[in-house]
Structure 1
Amino acid sequence: MAIGNIYFIAGIAVIGGGLFGFDISSMSAIIGTQQYKCYFNQGPVPCQGPTSSTQGGITAAMAGGSWLAALISGYITDLFGRKKAIMVGAVIWVIGSIIVSASQNIAMLIVGRIINGFSVGICSAQVPVYITELSQPTIRGRLVGAQQWAITWGIMIMFYVSYGCSFINSSAAFRVAWALQMIPAILLFIGMIFLPESPRWLARKGRWEESLAVLVLVHGKGDPNSPWVAKEYKEIQEYCEIEAANADVTYWELLTPRYLNRTHIGVFCQIWSQLTGMNVMMYYITYVFTMAGLTGNNLLVSSSIQYVINVVMTIPALIFVDRWGRRPTLLIGAALMMTWLFANAGILATYGTPMPNGIDGTREATTKVTGAASKAVIACSYLFVASYAPTWGPVSWIYPPELYPLRVRGKAVSLATSANWAFNFALGYFVPPAFENIAWRTYIVFGVFCIAMFIHVFFMFPETAGKPLEEVTAIFEDPNGIPGIGTPAWKTRNTYSKTAREEKGEIDDFVPASKVADTTPPASEKV
């Protein structure tokens, strides 16, 4: 018997997001340790670690694998279902973690991280789709946003695990930490066994009785006569009938006039989330704080504080994002992050001392600040994380699955997520050489990106909060709107309050779900 509590379902599924978090801090916490630098050293100087370009390649390898897997996941999820796609991702993660923890050289480490990337690509694309298709509209943002919260927990937990292992005086310092990454993937696989499949995917496959059973279990809490279940089931039926004539989906279809606008919005939502500069803070925070004069344990502990901030500051988004709406959350986040990025650039440019050869063997730390300027750099870094955590962090996962109709959702979200990983790869590779070559100007680059994303969101990103998934399509296909775009983004509104009343049955204009079940399409009409 499948479990029907939607919070429990989301709690298990988002472990897939936590895998990404484990990967981030397993690298950021380890690249500064002597054990890592000595074992994977390159060049004539002992224990200096890989070169900047090689370290960028090691870090980016995971994102490279994720990019490819995110695209492939569209086919996997459409063929086998959202649930099984996530379970496949869990198995792949265990395989990758075994290879990474057993790495004998840089090449083996990169291969293992690419395989880990396959897992993250599948899970990061399909966990939001799975939760989106199972959730009620009024808590959909909260539940999908929990993926980002799981990522922040994964980052924090793995950082402290890696920090503890750093006191081991051998290669076990990083091998043990990397091996422990298998535990959440094993829990994810076992937990998914007891969860239901997406009712919308079941409907697409013509498995109507199972689809209705899942809706009754999850949304009706076992009541087959729930008005909300009746409404939702009927909307799924009607939409599947509309889409029945075009059952086959290809990625090329997402570039047709009907879908091009929402495809570009979903893709750029993920791209902008990377171009905020959060990668600078997550993967390479040790470089930033080394420039601020922190060393040894002080460096690692100070770096870990941002991970705690990330966890705590994601909570307001989980509580309020459905009431706030997507647009204001993204706009405020872009403005705040821009402020802290430009502030850090100004501090480093004004008070920093160039260090062409790096600091304490860290080649990427090319500017040194001391005194009040050092504290200001650290403070701005923390404030940046506190601005990202309740805004672009969760909403970049919440927003794309809401944009697309059922028939194309699996592949559309896969494409959007692949864009995330393509830019994650590029930035993972770019940031170490950037710190080495253009120093504080790296912050200027990301600050300009934040300005661009603010403008883009204002003019092109419509509000989807509070709307049933089948109603979001009307925004983009509004005959009275802008051709190819639909309702102008700045005219869309959050419908949380109205939908909340419908879910509670206060607006009751539905037929009972038991009667709706009688209208199940015959086998010949399966989608």
Structure 2
Amino acid sequence: MYQVGNVYVIAAVSVLGGALFGFDISSMSAIISTPAYLCYFNQGDTPCVGPQAGVQGGITAAMPGGSWLGALVSGYVSDILGRKRSIQIGATIWCIGSILVCASNGIAMLIVGRIINGFSVGICSAQVPVYITEIAPPSKRGRLVGAQQWAITWGILIMFYISYGCSFINGTAAFRIPWGLQMIPAIGLFIGMLFLPESPRWLAKKDRWEEATQVLALTHAKGDTNSPFVAKEMAEIREVVEFERANADVTYLELLSPKMINRTHIGVFTQIWSQLTGMNVMMYYITYIFTMAGLGDGKSNLLLSSSIQYIINVVMTVPALIWVDRWGRRPTLLIGAFLMMIWLFINAGLLATYSVPPGPEQHFTTDAESMYITGKPAKAVIACTYLFVASYAPTWGPVSWIYPPELYPLRVRGKAVALATSANWAFNFALAYFVPPAFANIKWKVYILFGVFCASMFLHVFFVFPETSQKPLEEVEDIFDDTTPGSIRFLGTPAWKTSVDKRAVRLERGEFDVEDKAAVTHYDSSPERRAEAPKVN
């Protein structure tokens, strides 16, 4: 079958898995405040007030709860069946979940469908970054993996406007149509993956050396198997596979071993911190926030104001796709954490000073809408919310997907990224469930809580997170295994002493230094030499 070799096309197809998550976020955000949803899933004696705050939190959290399990399972599926096939399995599961959600006749069926959808998202969100990381050249790896986040933002934006348009329909079709249309990107993902190559590093790990070389040549050298860059990459892959062949069978427990625990904790906390920024709170419950800021008088006014932040999210992700490999991972994360902390603390101060308890004239529909603020302070809250999104979109949004797959050696990468991504979904689940009752009980202090998290992540990144930008995956090992003076045992090179590796672009252009030429001669692309490659069980 014909295989696509352009890495940008490969990334564009595979990141459709990210669009699935985006579709879910905005379909829930746009629908939970509509009369059709509130009336059909109503609880209590008062008509059309919708689910109680705790139940709505459970409905929203069902998807990330399923994603947590899907992410953990994806490590085994990916190592056994391959990165490509595991993504296709995720796409198939998404269609099943969307059918159940679309046909929901009550809260229980809705939750079950969202759990199944979440299982799919967990698989795709964990393995799409791994797949792109293992197939992309080092100099483009950041922007290609970051496209996962861009796909999420596009999914949010597109589904928001679909949901907004359908909100004018009378009856349950107002939410059934958007939930049914969620299947379209999953179908496109499944079909598109048929024409993409498998990860060359996974092929090498399975002793399929000829195929691995062909894929590297196809994606990095326009089919030229004699390319010096392809030879360099294969030399490094072969050396790693040979070193790791005795440890081919990996369990999650190995990720907690002394030599691996540092990078495991960094990968896990990258995903945890991305949730504790509070960004998904803004996405899931933005209608609550803007209603409290006085934009809830008209449905069109509220939903269109909410959509502005989705547009900001799409547009502001673009700079990261263009420059994140040049900026580096560390500066991007540090700047993002600092700016988000500022906007969160300002919002906390505004709401603490100027908000009042809502009265009956506000016609609020849920306990989570526990404050009311008007005038210039309300406009400032809205502005800081937009600035928060603009700060997250080019920083923690894409880098939280780019960074974890770069940290781990080949033999553990599938399971390690699955574990890190499962942490993302565990905290996503907790926050989705926690935020409505939190707004109901501690009100503006929710912003203080997330502001403190942003301050904590700034310090954590500065002291612990090393720079991995533009480094070949096999060379990232040196950061953590560094034994030179000044390094710390099991921690490797101090994070603040690491920097962006500028050699990647030179290597792809064929500008090799003496050390690089030695590595190339270590690998012979002839069939006879490849036949001597180590066998991996």
- CA–CA distance in structure 1, aligned partners of residues 388 and 529 of structure 2: 53
Amino acid at match of 1:395: V
- Per the TM alignment, residue 225 of structure 1 is displaced from its structure 2 partner at its CA by 1.6
Aligned to 1:38: 39
2:428 matched to which residue of 1?
424
Matches within 5 A, 1:66-81: 66-81=67-82
How far off is 1:374 after superposition?
1.0
What corresponds to 1:348 in structure 2? 351
Pairing 1:21-420 to 2, within 5 Å after superposition: 21-295=22-296, 296-355=299-358, 359-420=363-424
* Partner AA of 2:505 in structure 1: A
- Residues 352-387 of structure 1: CA deviation (Å, up to 9, x unaligned): 112277752232111111110111011000000000
Cα offset for 1:144?
Answer: 0.1
Q: 1:433 — aligned with what?
A: 437
1:472 alignment partner in structure 2: 476
Question: Residue 227 of structure 1 contacts residue 513 of structure 1 at CA under 8 Å; is this kept in 2?
Answer: no
How far did 1:514 drift? Answer: 6.0
Count, aligned residues: 526
Q: Which residue of 2 aligns with 1:505?
A: 510
CA positional deviation for 1:515? 3.6
How far has the Cα of 1:342 moved from its partner?
0.4
1:526 is aligned to 2:536: yes
Aligned-pair distance for 1:462? 0.2
TM-superposed CA distance for 1:186, in Å, is 0.2
Structure 2 letter corresponding to 1:331: L
How far, CA to CA, are the matches of 2:132 and 2:425 in structure 1? 20
Aligned-partner Cα distance in 2 for 1:359–1:232 = 63
Q: For 1:517 and 1:222, locate their aligned partners in 2 and report how far apart those are by CA, in whole Å.
A: 16
Percent identical pairs in the alignment equals: 70
Contact kept, 8 Å, 1:225 with 1:512, in 2: the verdict is no
What SS class does the counterpart of residue 259 from structure 2 fall into?
helix
- How far apart in 1 are the matches of 2:472 and 2:230? 12
- Verify the 8 A CA contact 1:356 1:366 in the aligned structure 2: no
Rounded Cα–Cα distance in structure 1 between residues aligned with 2:322 and 2:123: 27
**Structure 1 residue 511: deviation in Å?**
3.9
1:222: Cα distance to partner?
1.0
Task: Give 2:498's aligned residue.
Answer: 492
Deviation at 1:341, TM superposition (A): 0.4
Give the Cα–Cα distance (whole angstroms) in 1 for the partners of residues 284 and 308 of structure 2. 14
Code of the residue aligned with 1:452 in structure 2: it is S
Matched residues in 1 for 2:93 and 2:359: separation? 42
- Which residue identity does 1:265 align to in structure 2? I
Gaps of 5+ in 2: none
Q: Distance in 2 between matches of 1:170 and 1:514?
A: 67
C-alpha distance in 2, partners of 1:339/1:83? Answer: 41
CA contact (8 A) 1:229 1:513 kept: no
Equivalent pair of 2:52/2:366 in contact (CA under 8 Å): no
Which segment is superposed worse, 498-507 or 408-417?
A: 498-507
The verdict on how the C-alpha distance between 1:356 and 1:115 changes in structure 2, with shifts beyond 3 A counting, is farther
Letter in 2 for 1:325: G
| Cα distance in 1 between the residues matched to 2:75 and 2:224 | 33
Contact 2:235 2:522 survives alignment (8 Å)? no
Whether the 8 Å contact between 1:100 and 1:178 is mirrored in structure 2 is yes
Distance in 2 (alpha carbons) for counterparts of 1:258 and 1:72: 24
Rounded Cα–Cα distance in structure 1 between residues aligned with 2:276 and 2:435? 11
Is the 1:225–1:513 contact (alpha carbons within 8 Å) kept by the matching residues of 2? no
CA–CA distance in structure 1, aligned partners of residues 58 and 534 of structure 2: 52
Residue aligned with 2:260, SS: helix
Structure 1 residues 174-225: Cα deviation after superposition (integer angstroms, max 9, x where no partner) = 0001000000000000000000000000000000000001001111111122
Q: Offset at 1:516?
A: 5.8
CA distance in 2, matches of 1:366, 1:222: 61
Taking the aligned partners of 2:247 and 2:376, their CA distance within structure 1 comes to 63
Contact 1:338-1:451 within 8 A present in 2 as well: yes
Distance (whole Å) between structure 2 residues aligned to residue 514 and residue 522 of structure 1: 10
Distance 1:372 1:456 in 2: 35
Residue 265 of structure 1 aligns to a residue whose secondary structure is helix
CA-based RMSD of the aligned residues comes to: 1.3
